[in-house]
Structure 1
Amino acid sequence: MRIALLSYSTKPRGGVVHTLALAEALAAAGQDVTVWTLGRGGDAGFFRPVDPAVRLRIVPFPDGPAGESVGERILRSIATLREHFDGTGYDIVHAQDCISANAVDSCVRTVHHIDHFTTPELAACHERALTTPYAHVCVSATVADELAAGWGLKAEVIPNGVAYERFADTDPAARDRWRRRLGRYVLTVGGIEPRKGSLDLLEAYALLRERLPGLQLVIAGGETLFDYRDYRTRWETRAAELRVRPLVLGEVPDDDLPALVAAAGAFAFPSVREGFGLAAMEALAAGVPLTVRDLPVLREVFGPAARYAATPEALAAELAAALTGDDPTRRTAGRTLAARHTWAEAARRHLAFYRCLG
């Protein structure tokens, strides 16, 4: 089967991580797979090496004119990928985000989570990317139910995989280097943005420091298309008011990420919207205690393997419990859960779904 998987970036966001891992698993299953994406800012490759069994088509996407708005950049992204994408000869064209779904005429679409935009261009892009694909995949039943309730669309539910061994078997020396550099820390991955609940985590951290002086909050990742400067300013202002100074690492090299996760005392995942929570599942694979926002989708995905919190106060309390109390039952449940989510199984289920489409 000839399969094209379409993404919007070469950077390490969850949907891009998903696209590459799925492509490699499909290729390992004997399929002919090509990944198409935009090379933003001169990127000629992805954030990590990709199995050579997967073909890569990275469309140059230079920086736009000064003052280009988010909406204008989205429209230019769609137009650029549409101009270059050669959809002939593929049995399946599978878009992983709203930009790539808008750039092709007919596709399968994975809806990782459902957003709510106010920018007109983004709202229109999001709506078309839900309604025009001829088939849909969701990574959790909760998102599939939301898609059915809001748009009357039926989606196949295929959970994410996770690179279990990569996070479960990290180098002790690499973990020690992170601990020497950072001390004792709570980690979150995903940057500072509204969807990630960054302001709530900041409030929780201030409360947590009162119980555990010297504890560091470390924030990794954060590559995004969107302009969150106003939110970031609010976050920085609030941090100064609270007299806390989290460490913002930004994008961490892919080879360094597993040890950074595994060395953490706890992993915080207070997102207000998610479809699955791949970074949180990686933390469970590493055996790190996990505290997430109390959302139906995260209850579905993580069950008894995580702690749940609906407010900053509860988040601080649950993180404190995770940091100060050994919980081998929950840790074992987390590792067992993560180990069940393989990319090979995700690829098998995708192939079965593709074949049903005729």
Structure 2
Amino acid sequence: MRIALLSYSTKPRGGVVHTLYLAEALAAAGADVTVWSLARGGDEGFFRPVDPRVRLSLVPFPDRPGEGVGARILRFIAVLRDAFDGSRYDVVHAQDCISANAAGRCIRTVHHLDRFTTPELAACHERAIVRPYAHVCVSTAVAGELLAGWGLKATVIPNGVDAARFAAAAADGAAVGRWRRRLGRYVLTVGGIEPRKGSLDLLEAYARLGTAELRLVVAGGETLFDYRGYRTAWDERAAELGVEPVVLGTVDDAQLPSLVAGAEVFAFPSAKEGFGLAPLEALAAGVPLVVSDLPVFHEIFGDAATYATGPTALAEALRTADRTRAELGRKVAGSYTWSAAAQAHLDLYARLG
């Protein structure tokens, strides 16, 4: 079976992480898999090495200084559409709204649903929901939104997690120690500073902790969008509160597991999510998890997480986090595997013919 998985980026965002792990698991199961992606800004590969059994087809996408979001979205779609020939594949599976617009007839994974104000992006989002002939969602929560909003029934296939990798990082005292010597004791969040990630709420919660012994560390943040205004507001509020978070930006993939494993607590106070891969990685490393009180998080993490919404509740949850549920967290993380996700995809592809 020849399968094309399409993504819009080579950068370490959740949907891209999903695409690569799924491609590798499909290839391990014997499928002929090609990952197509735009290679932005001169990128020559993905943010991490990819199993050589997976074919890669990267489409150059040079930057244009001063290009607005709407124009860039349209150019994303046009460049990928011009390069991609779906007739070469038995299955064409788009992983985001941009690639779904470019792919033609395709299956679409809806990781989460958004509301956009940029007209071109709003139209891209809508077309990528209504045009595909089949849909996958990574949680029943998102599938419910798709059914309620568009009357579309999706197949639910959860993400996997490389639990062994993060568990091994927790046992690597040298690597964990390097982060702790650099950062001290820290609360970690992964995903950058943006509205959907609840970054301002987390900042306010951190200020309420009232301890200089625990630092707030923010990793990740590669995004398609321009959140400079939100980041400026976040920086200004940090100054008003008298706190100095550590913003690492994108962390090398090889170093990320030990960074996660070294945290005292992992915070993920998102306003909206479709799954929560980064928190599962924290659970695999035995790190206490505090997340916002969203239905999707209850679905994925169950009793392994502490739920809190709003700065006051978040602060209390971070203050009282402990490792008594570490074993339960590892068990939950271990229940989500990429091999199971790949087999569920292969079963779906077979049913769709």
Residue number in structure 2 paired with 1:349:
344
Distance in 1, matches of 2:268 and 2:183, equals 19
AA at the equivalent of 1:198:
S
Q: Does 2:338 align with 1:337?
A: no
Distance in 1, matches of 2:112 and 2:57, equals 25
Q: Percent identity?
A: 72
Residue number in structure 1 paired with 2:242:
243
Residue number in structure 1 paired with 2:228:
229
Correspondence list, 1:269-280, <5 A: 269-280=268-279
Correspondence list, 1:15-164, <5 A: 15-64=15-64, 66-164=65-163
CA offsets, 1:96-131, max 9 Å, x none?
A: 000000002100000000001011011000000000
CA offsets, 1:46-84, max 9 Å, x none?
A: 0000000000000000001x3211111111000000010
Distance in 2, matches of 1:247 and 1:213, equals 13
Q: Does 2:316 align with 1:317?
A: yes
Residue number in structure 2 paired with 1:166:
165
Paired residue secondary structure (2:86): coil
Which runs of no fewer than 5 residues in structure 1 stay unpaired?
Answer: none
Distance in 1, matches of 2:59 and 2:188, equals 34
Tell me which stretches of 4 or more aligned residues in structure 1 moved more than 4 Å.
Answer: none
Distance in 2, matches of 1:104 and 1:159, equals 23
Distance in 2, matches of 1:245 and 1:76, equals 38
- TM-score, structure 2 normalization: 0.99
Paired residue secondary structure (1:103): helix
AA at the equivalent of 1:17:
V
Distance in 2, matches of 1:11 and 1:83, equals 21
Residue number in structure 2 paired with 1:13:
13
Structure 1 residue 174 displacement after superposition: 0.2
Residue number in structure 1 paired with 2:177:
176
Paired residue secondary structure (1:354): helix
Distance in 2, matches of 1:118 and 1:181, equals 40
Distance in 1, matches of 2:74 and 2:204, equals 36
Residue number in structure 1 paired with 2:259:
260
Distance in 2, matches of 1:317 and 1:331, equals 19
AA at the equivalent of 1:254:
D
AA at the equivalent of 2:182:
R
AA at the equivalent of 1:70:
V
Distance in 2, matches of 1:87 and 1:8, equals 16
CA offsets, 1:213-255, max 9 Å, x none?
A: 2210000000001010000011011000001010000000000
Q: Report if aligned partners of 2:287, 2:323 keep a CA contact under 8 Å in 1.
A: no
Q: Does 2:307 align with 1:308?
A: yes
Q: Does 2:214 align with 1:203?
A: no
Q: Report if aligned partners of 2:159, 2:277 keep a CA contact under 8 Å in 1.
A: yes
CA offsets, 1:188-219, max 9 Å, x none?
A: 000000000000000000001x1x32210000
Distance in 2, matches of 1:35 and 1:355, equals 19
Paired residue secondary structure (1:20): helix
Distance in 2, matches of 1:92 and 1:287, equals 38
Structure 1 residue 89 displacement after superposition: 2.1
Distance in 2, matches of 1:336 and 1:294, equals 21
Paired residue secondary structure (1:9): coil
Structure 1 residue 326 displacement after superposition: 4.1
RMSD between superposed Cα atoms in Å:
0.7
